[in-house]
Chains A and B, each alone.
Chain A
């Protein structure tokens, strides 16, 4: 098992290196430069522009910039954001809680809806309910998040104004009592969390349905039924428990998908998180910040995937065997 984990870890690190290098070169090759942001006015005397470029290390050949950046990144120095003028690590740390909160809400919504839809569908396979759920989950997962978000926003903030139309907190949040603060936060979290969950719960529902049907057809379930247990008990206690194991992996891997969806949701809902930070960084060609947020997201996703792999291996010895044999 240790060997398996080490192998996986090695592969992840290699992948991380490749991702970071690819992003570095892609970002620098993209049309447009951060000089507009830095130098701003092209009528600055050339020597002054040059000085600014030197300050930010943009005067060096790309290969040198790459080597310096890689070394610094490995040492934990992610540079200073051009646009925010603060260390990239500080910028990321500042928005991380907001993103984690949103991702957690999205995950919760996804799991709750995915499970509910999956179970409902598995109870009567082939029925109208099953077909209906299949269509709905297909529809949901094929809608772009921004579109779902805008529709939901229109419905719940304008037509039926019960929820706030964006941001993480109301104006004057600091002056509220703690209880009201928590409620306010929750109210702001509902729409983006729900939308994130809605857009990703489809595949999960399909997975739950399939895995449940699989288990329901197995010997021990038949035995339970034969013992005269109620259908409800068979489904909720025996079948669900045996199909939950693999669900952990799904949980781990959907965390990474949610992270991606959060970028869009954060922009649509003015949520002050990592996604919005990345979005603005890309628009402004803020190289250090783009690289920093991408590196950070890549690490997060790799950790999630690694966790999923390990969980999978723990649950299924065949995976370990295959890894050893390979």
Chain B
């Protein structure tokens, strides 16, 4: 679960390594965030122009895609982005989650309906979709894909999403039925995960041999998405070209999209400024000035569905008392931290695991105030007093002193940790900030051998927070071993509702519970910053995918 990259928002909780380029190259947090298109500063300029066909766009990414068969290669963010351009999904999740659960737009399926008991989901497929070799896409491909997803020897990373799908029945070439073992909130999300694969082409290799033949799938690539692969240089660049048999005849506008891997963040921004790259999906906060100052570039920013906080290790006696954790939160001046590490309003103080831009956020919740006096009073009432006059609180002869971990390469978190050290010192708590390599931090986190750590999580569409707070999820994300039977029960209850909207009151109670118990101190939510060359139009990265609407992108002068 940890180093797992963002899968199309169906993931319960995702360890986030946002802005940490080291971690990114292996976990590859995909995505972007809400308000996608609206944040584009100059809609008027682009709205007047008509899209043109042709041209090339260059996208730079910190890591390289790992392969075209996402079932058997490490599923990094960029791999998912590329595969999404090659294979259509039955339905495509939309980034409109601010007021209600996201809509599922038809893609390969033109419509779908649930049975009255919500345990059968029937899809009606488009009849005009063909594979790039001319063979029609049918219900057989859908069933084949499900078989591949769930085959033990294929061992797909996201196979767990399919575990409640008991069968996929081919009714006729263009009708397919998913049979579920039970009705639950994320049925449609579980079905939507993963592109539909070509049975007639990829079925030639038996599933148990898939993992030994990763190269074969590129050589035998057949697609039904907007793009196909023209060339693939591992670790260097992947060139996508228009799939001439794509069912939307007027899309994509671009002839070619070059995805280049640029491992160094400074090099990324330099390439955007020098014009060698047209789109940089994830710029560093420090790069913002360079993008906005350049008339040839456009800054696209949007709130990401992630939050960063301090995870307290509840196994340690000093953190086991909720009142003490509350005092810690009160003693940390989160607003000042946010104002310092996120310039120009690119961050805000966090308050709940369901971030503020999501429909299910409990709007009655307010961040605890910064109140060191109250913190000191609370600590004293729980027995923490400076007995020996060294400026550090003690209890039972032990000083209130701990190590705060953050990961190398993530400057915001490192700076935040240092500010926390300073702020907690004022209430008599000694903090030693320590920066460690990401893998090393994960080891300590999963083993539970840490005091406190600055960590980030993503909340996805399913709103399932089990991996972050579930009593048994100490390996997945609940590193501090928060143990609340009430949370476990409420979360199960919410996830069992066939319509997640009916779970809103339960989700509110969960958020209030977390707010009361403070298993972690919420520090911030932040924006994702993307940079685009102005010659590129209609670039609308979303929280789901940076290349969300790649088929709509167009360039003014197809010069390149």
Contacts and interface: CB of A to CB of B under 8 A. Distances in A.
B94 interface: no
A48 interface: yes
B2 interface: yes
Interface in A274-309: 276-277, 279-280, 283-285
Given A85-B67, A272-B233, A284-B74, A52 B155 contact: yes
A126 interface: no
Taking chain A's interface residues, is the majority helix, strand, or loop, or is none over half, making it mixed? loop
Interface in A12-54: 30-33, 36-45, 48, 51-52
B248 interface: no
Interface stretch (A113-121, A161-169, A216-224, A310-318): A161-169
B439 A285 contact: yes
A50 to B, nearest CB: 11
A237 interface: no
Given A37-B74, A280-B235, A284-B25, A161 B160 contact: no
Contacts of A161: 274-275
B267 A268 contact: yes
Given A40-B4, A43-B1, A91 B270 contact: no
A272 B267 CA distance: 14
B20 to A, nearest CB: 11
A177 interface: no
A51 B476 contact: no
Nearest to A154: B270
Nearest to A279: B263
Contact of B157 (A41, A270, A279): A41
A270 B260 contact: yes
A267 B263 contact: yes
B318 interface: no
Interface in B96-118: none
A276 to B, nearest CB: 6
B263 A270 contact: yes
Interface string B434-477: 00011110111000000000000000000000000000000110
A91 B234 contact: yes
Contact of A166 (B63, B233, B262): B262
Given A41-B4, A43-B160, A172 B56 contact: yes
A165 B267 contact: yes
A64 interface: no
A313 B72 CA distance: 53
Range for the number of chain B residues in contact with chain A: 35 or more
Nearest to A161: B274
A11 interface: no
Contact of A86 (B214, B236, B274, B475): B214
A284 B236 CA distance: 17
Interface string A138-154: 00000000100010011
A69 interface: no
Given A44-B160, A83-B74, A85-B67, 10 more contacts: A31-B444, A32-B443, A37-B26, A48-B159, A82-B74, A83-B66, A166-B267, A166-B271, A170-B276, A172-B560
28 contacts: A31-B444, A32-B437, A36-B2, A36-B27, A36-B442, A41-B4, A42-B475, A43-B160, A51-B153, A83-B74, A85-B66, A85-B72, A158-B270, A158-B274, A161-B274, A164-B274, A165-B271, A165-B274, A165-B276, A167-B236, A167-B276, A171-B58, A268-B264, A268-B266, A270-B260, A272-B236, A276-B263, A280-B235
Interface of B: 1-5, 22, 25-27, 56, 58, 63, 66-67, 72-75, 152-153, 155, 157-160, 211, 214-215, 231, 233-237, 258, 260-264, 266-267, 270-271, 273-276, 437-440, 442-444, 475-476, 560
